[in-house]
Amino acid sequence: MRIPFIAGNWKMFKTVHEAVLFVKELRGLVKDVSGIEVVIAPPFTALHAVAEAARSTNVGVAAQNVYWEREGAFTGEVSAVMAKEAGAEYAIVGHSERRRLFGESDAIVNRKTLAAIAAGLTPIVCVGETLEERERNQTFEVLDRQIKNGLDRLTAEQVAELILAYEPVWAIGTGRNATAAQAGEAHAHIRKRLRQWVGGDAADHCHVIYGGSVKPDNIGALVAEPDVDGALVGGASLDVKSFMSIVTKSRPAAV
């Protein structure tokens, strides 16, 4: 059974001091929370400090990005091995901002995904269409391409263990989120494709989460959709009370 997965992506926000204070407060709030995975993705400068603050707690830590080479003359890049050593357990790969602002292709996403797995990190692989693509009714076509190319050469077992984040680009940082029905439809399509391409067991085990202007007031409707397994939260994860509200509202009723 898939338990809800909630990740807070801080993007380029929070100093080391601010990040550690946040995690110290969050770990107290979630220490008795079960039945849900809670993850924070700080900027690289705070990755090690956040990992130390989260050590032996039920707060996981993710890198916001990784490079596909283990080492080399790649100024400004951080390898998956380095992120793992700094304390990361997960790595966000192919976020829409990386694709749009830094030109990352599906092939690059694939290389980074493979590198993350090789380093012992769980990839959070992002997919999603632009507004123009949605208006042209190309959503499923875009998702098929990004999933097929982005997960190329992965085994069914590897797909089962990763997290796919559906983030419609038109809803990232715009305040405009997909409706629960729109998210549910996209997630159901993703799950169907995974069943076709990697088998039912892997498809049923793989988490598919939603990202795109997630807030406390819409998370309940989103996770009520049967194929929405949680959320990749942006701006609303910067405030600990807001983020905790999302975590609380994402927990199964029986927990």
What residues act catalytically?
A: 95, 167
Cα–Cα distance for residue pair 132/135, rounded to 1 Å: 5
Give me the amino acid identity at 96: S
Query: How far, in Å, CA of 191 to CA of 204, rounded?
Result: 8
- Measured CA to CA, the distance from residue 6 to residue 156 in angstroms comes to 23
The DSSP code sequence of the chain is -PPPEEEEE--S---HHHHHHHHHHHHHHHTT--SSEEEEE--HHHHHHHHHHHTTSSEEEEES--BSSSSSS-TT--BHHHHHHHT-SEEEES-HHHHHHH---HHHHHHHHHHHHHTTPEEEEEE---HHHHHTT-HHHHHHHHHHHHTTT--HHHHHHSEEEE--GGGSSSS----HHHHHHHHHHHHHHHHHHH-HHHHHHSEEEEESS--TTTHHHHHTSTT--EEEESGGGSSHHHHHHHHHHHS-TT-
